[in-house]
Each structure stands twice: as structure tokens, then as C-alpha cells.
């Protein structure tokens, strides 16, 4: 099964944004190299295997990584799964790309070793695998980023494999790959990995929370963005200089909080949350007054950890207000210094 030419053209259009012409030509050469290398190979779903390498390279591009990493992502399975050698890759695309592909291939071998290691518990084997992957980061962190993007696409397409493998891969993702993404600060990848894994590990709970959220993530983010804009205007009008950050909790983190706090979904007030960063403690309280003036606050959901810091010295003001359309928003207020 070959990748249609129009698919390659459309993919190249997306991947070319912000890149110099010489880099675009190198990526295009690698795309055709990958197509030739994986010719005839198909995934469990029946689609051309090379579609996977294109998808991984696209995720790498979305993370803003350099051209060598995009090319290595296109070729990340070529040495393991095809007759292509590292020497060929070095000749065609340079030693840096060859080094990255070699690193990803070694990480795959380490993972397979950990999964089949005898004489140890599964948990110990996974911990050993994680430590070895951490060591790979010392050599070149880009290798781990490619591997994370590879795992993310595998999780996005996990529905094509049997249920036993779904559970195994999803558990491995939570135990190994999500912590790696967290360590590297690749938050969007971490959140998506966790939600996808949770979907297969606890499908009923996942569906229940998803139904209770009752709105698409994009819609929730749009709500947060609009709330931030209104809050920014309110603060600016009163002379309070602030930086406001917003987030929408993903399903796995919602479930985690429900478990840790022994709460029902309806008892959570931070499914939508914003963080207000100001210059001084005085501005924290000024911001709080403006927020409570503009939106009705929820009694019992106010905590002043600036006046009374937590034992770990955490300092912030927490409140929850009823925002537009009756939707609750948690607001955290702290200084830049505290943050």
C-alpha cells in the first residue's frame, strides 16, 4: 500500500511553515525515503505503516523542534523495521539525524527488554526501563521527544489493537511515558497521553467524566480565554497590572483529584481555572476585590494561603466564582515572586 502523492503534498504544506527552503527540501527527501523504506508494510489497522512515521514527524513539528528532529521522526522506525542502515541515513541526511534514529532505536530495544525481563517483577522492570530512558536524555533530549511523539501517535491509534494490548500499552504509558513528558515539561503531550491511557484503563469512568463535562475541550478552552479577557479588562481598568494564565483540567487529572480528595465530580470547582500573577501582595488583595465585585463567589470555596501559608510554605489566594452561563471558575491569585 503506497501513500498517495496528494497526501505527501498536503503533509509537506503543513510541515513547511516557518522553515527555510533548504530544510523543506531535506524533509521532502526524507519523506520519500521513508515511503520507499516502508513500502508494503501495513499497521494493524490496515493503513500504510509510513502514515505513522508521517504523523510522528508532524507532532514533532508542532512542538517546534528543528529540521533534523523532524527527519529523524520520519525515519525513526526505518533501521529497526526495514533493511535501511544507520550508515545510509548518515550519508543521505547527516550524522546528527543518524545519531537521533540510533537513539530512538535503542530506546525501543530497552523498552522491549524491560517488558520481557525475567526474574523481576513487572514494576521493577518498568522502573529500570525508565531509568535507562532518563540516561538517554543526558546524551540528547531530542531522542526522548521523538519517542514521546511516537508513543502519542500510537496511543491515538490504539483502538486498532486487541483489548489486552490496549490495557498493557495504556498502563505502560501512564507509568513510563507520561512521567517522562512531565519531566521534560511537554505538558500538552503529557495531558493527552494521560487522557488516552485512562480511556483504555478505565473506560467506564472516563466516559462518565467526559459526559459530565458535556462539552468539547476546545469549547471549554474558548470559555477560559473569554473569561481571561474580561478579567484582564477589569484589572487593567482598576490599575492592577497582572499576567493571567488559564487552563482546562483534563479528564485524568479530574479523576485523580476526585480520588485523592474523595470528592464527587459535582464537588469539584476547578475544572476550569485561571491563575492571576501580580507584582505585590497588596495587588493580590486588590485583584481579589475586583474579581468578587464582577462575579458572584461561592461560599466555602475561599482560601487565603497568603495570610496563612500551608506547611510547605505554599502561598496563594484561592476563590471560586460563577462565571458566564453559570459555569464555575476557580481563580488563584499570587505574586510573580511566589510563583
Nearest to 177 by CA among 149, 141, 211, 214: 149
194 counts as catalytic: no
DSSP 158-206: GGGS-HHHHHHHHHHIIIIIHHHHHHHT-HHHHHHHHHHHHHHHSHHHH
Contact 54, 74 (CB under 8 A): yes
- CA end-to-end distance (rounded Å), the chain: 53
What span, in angstroms and rounded, lies between the C-alpha atoms of 97 and 73?
A: 9
The one catalytic residue in 47, 81, 128, 175 is 81
Contact 173, 147 (CB under 8 A): no
Quick one: which H or E segment has residue 243? strand 242-248
What span, in angstroms and rounded, lies between the C-alpha atoms of 66 and 271?
A: 35
The one catalytic residue in 62, 80, 87, 215 is 80
Contact 237, 267 (CB under 8 A): no
81 counts as catalytic: yes
DSSP alpha helix (H) spans, the chain: 5-15, 21-37, 50-62, 67-74, 78-81, 86-93, 95-116, 122-139, 141-156, 163-172, 178-184, 187-201, 203-213, 217-237, 251-261, 281-294
3 state SS of 134: helix
Active site residue ranges: 80-81
Amino acid at each position: 500500500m503506497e501513500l498517495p502523492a496528494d497526501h505527501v503534498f498536503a503533509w509537506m504544506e503543513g510541515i513547511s511553515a516557518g522553515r527555510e527552503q533548504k530544510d523543506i527540501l531535506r524533509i521532502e527527501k526524507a519523506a520519500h525515503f521513508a515511503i520507499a523504506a516502508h513500502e508494503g508494510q501495513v499497521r494493524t489497522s490496515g493503513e500504510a505503516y509510513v502514515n505513522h512515521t508521517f504523523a510522528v514527524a508532524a507532532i514533532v513539528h508542532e512542538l517546534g523542534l528543528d529540521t533534523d528532529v523532524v527527519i529523524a521522526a520520519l525515519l525513526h522506525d526505518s533501521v529497526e523495521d526495514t533493511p535501511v542502515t544507520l550508515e545510509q541515513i548518515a550519508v543521505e541526511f547527516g550524522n546528527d539525524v543518524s545519531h537521533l534514529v540510533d537513539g530512538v532505536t535503542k530506546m525501543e530495544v530497552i523498552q522491549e527488554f524491560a517488558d520481557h525481563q525475567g526474574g523481576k517483577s513487572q514494576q521493577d522492570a518498568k522502573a529500570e526501563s525508565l531509568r535507562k530512558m532518563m540516561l538517554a536524555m543526558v546524551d540528547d533530549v531530542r531522542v526522548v521527544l521523538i519517542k514521546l511523539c511516537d508513543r502519542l501517535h500510537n496511543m491515538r491509534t490504539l483502538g486498532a489493537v486487541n483489548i489486552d494490548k490496549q490495557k498493557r500499552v495504556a498502563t505502560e504509558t501512564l507509568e513510563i511515558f507520561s512521567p517522562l513528558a512531565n519531566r521534560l515539561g511537554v505538558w500538552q503531550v503529557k495531558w493527552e497521553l494521560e487522557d488516552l491511557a485512562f480511556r483504555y484503563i478505565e473506560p467506564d469512568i472516563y466516559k462518565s467524566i467526559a459526559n459530565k463535562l458535556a462539552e468539547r475541550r476546545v469549547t471549554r478552552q474558548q470559555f477560559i480565554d473569554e473569561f481571561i479577557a474580561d478579567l484582564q479588562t477589569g484589572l487593567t481598568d482598576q490599575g492592577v497590572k497582572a499576567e493571567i494564565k488559564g487552563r482546562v483540567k483534563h479528564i485524568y487529572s479530574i479523576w485523580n483529584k476526585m480520588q485523592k480528595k474523595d470528592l464527587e465530580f459535582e464537588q469539584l470547582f476547578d475544572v476550569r481555572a485561571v491563575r492571576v500573577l501580580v507584582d505585590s501582595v497588596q495587588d493580590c488583595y486588590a485583584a481579589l476585590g475586583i474579581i468578587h465585585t464582577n462575579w458572584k463567589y461561592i461560599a466555602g470555596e475561599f482560601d487565603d494561603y497568603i495570610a496563612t501559608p500551608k506547611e510547605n510554605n505554599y502561598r496563594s489566594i484561592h476563590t471560586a466564582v460563577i462565571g458566564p452561563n453559570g459555569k464555575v471558575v476557580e481563580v488563584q491569585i499570587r505574586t510573580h515572586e511566589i510563583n
